[in-house]
Structure 1
Amino acid sequence: MTDTMGARSAAVSVVLNAAGRAGESPSYLSVRQLDIIANSMFLSPADLCILTLDERLRVVDANSGACHMMGGVPPARIRGNRVTDWFHAEDRKDLAGRLDALVRGSAPRVSIEARLAGPPRVKSAVRIMAFPNEVPGDEVSRVVAVLRPYVSTDTRSRKNQTLVLSEIDMRIIEGIAAGVSTKELSTELYLSKQGVEYHVSSMLKKLDVPNRAALVSKAYVLGILNARHWPPRLVAS
C-alpha cells in the first residue's frame, strides 16, 4: 500500500508543478487542464481532487476526482455550496479562516489537514493545498484547492530504508527521476553502463519495487527526493 501511495504522490507532485510557474502558487491552469494532465499520468479519480472557489468559498467548479472524494456525487451537488460544508464540524472554522486569508491576499497559499464528513459519512483525513487562481478569463474563481488523501507514515521505517542506499544509489535515483539516460549516468558517475544497471537492480530488490518508475516514487515517499523541486533533487541531509 505504501508503494501505491508513493506512486500517486510522485505523480500528483508533477501535476502540481505544472499548476504553477513558481512552486505551488498561483495556478495558471484551469481545472480541466489539470484534469487532462492527471489523466495522462494514469492517476485514478481519487488521486487528484481539484476545486475552484469564489470569494465566499463557494465551489465554482470541481473535477471528477473531487466528485469521487465527496462520495461520488454529481458536480451539480457540489457547485454553489461552501467548501467547508463538506468537512467535519470541528475543522470548518479553522479551514474557513485559512481560506479567507488566501482570498484577502494576506496568505500566499494554504496547506492544512482536515477531515471530510460528506457521503459516505466516513471522516477521511485529507490534505488541502490552496493557492490563488490566476487563469486568464476566469473572473469568478478566486482560489484553486487540491485535496489529497492524508496518510501519516512511520518516520523510523523511512530512515531505516534510506540507510541501505549508498550515495551513488541516491544520485542514480536523482538522475532517473530527471529522465537522465543510463549512458549519461554512467559518464557522470564514472561507472560503466552495466555498473549503473547493477545499482538499479540492487535498489529494486532493497526497496522491494518492480521498476524504475516505482523506484522514483518510493524515493519521494522515503524523503530522498524533494517533491517541491523540479527538476528532481536529493533532499539535503
Structure 2
Amino acid sequence: MSPTRRQLPPRPETAERRRDILRAALEIFGSKGYNNGPLAEIAEQVGMTHAGILHHFGSKDRLLVEVLRYRDESDVEGIEGQHIPDGTELFRHLIRTAFANEQRPGIVQAYAVLSAESVTDGNPGREYFEERYQVLRGEVAAAFRVMCAEQGVEDPETLDHAAASILAVMDGMQVQWLLDPSNVTLAKTSAFAIEAIAAQVLDPRSAPFTAAPDSPA
C-alpha cells in the first residue's frame, strides 16, 4: 500500500493569484450580486480567462463560498490567534469592526448584498450564512454569560435575544449607512446600540414599549 501523499501548500504565486481573484469577485459580487456577477467579468479584471477562474476554484458556487471566507478573514486581521475574543473584549471587537467598516465600504456592500441574496431559493451562500449567524449568536451569548457571571443574570432566553439583537443592529446599520452615508454614522451608531443592549442585559429595567402577550397593541 503506497503512503498517503501529503498535500503541499500552494506556491506563493498561486496563492497570490487566488487572492487577486477573490478581491475581484468580492468587488463584482458586491456591486452586482452573485447571480448578476459574471465570471467572465471577474476573469477580465484579473487578466485571466473564464477557464482560468474555474481552474482555481472549480465553480462559481465554490468561488462565492471562498469569497465569503476571505471577507471573514478581514474581520480578524490583527487579532491574536486570528479568532474572535470572548467576554467584554468581544463587544469591544464588534465596535472596532464597525469603525473599521467605515473605511472599507466595498467589503460592507458585498456582505450586505450577498447576505440578503442568501435567503433566496437555491442560493449557494445560504448554508454559509445560516452557519455564520448560528455561530455568531452563540459567541455573543457566551460573551454575555461571561459578563453576567457576577451580575446574577441567568436567563438564557434573554441572552439569546440580546445576541440576535446585536447582530441585527450591526447588519441593519450597515444597510442604512450604505444607502445614506451622509446622514448615518455607521461606527458611532453601532457602538451606541451595542452598549445600550449590553447595559439592558447587565442591568435589566422595565421595557415600557413591549406590550404583554395578552395586552392590546
Provide TM-score, normalisation by structure 2.
Answer: 0.22
Provide TM-score, normalisation by structure 1.
Answer: 0.20
Q: Which has the higher strand share?
A: 1
Q: Which has the larger radius of gyration?
A: 2
Q: Which has the higher helix share?
A: 2
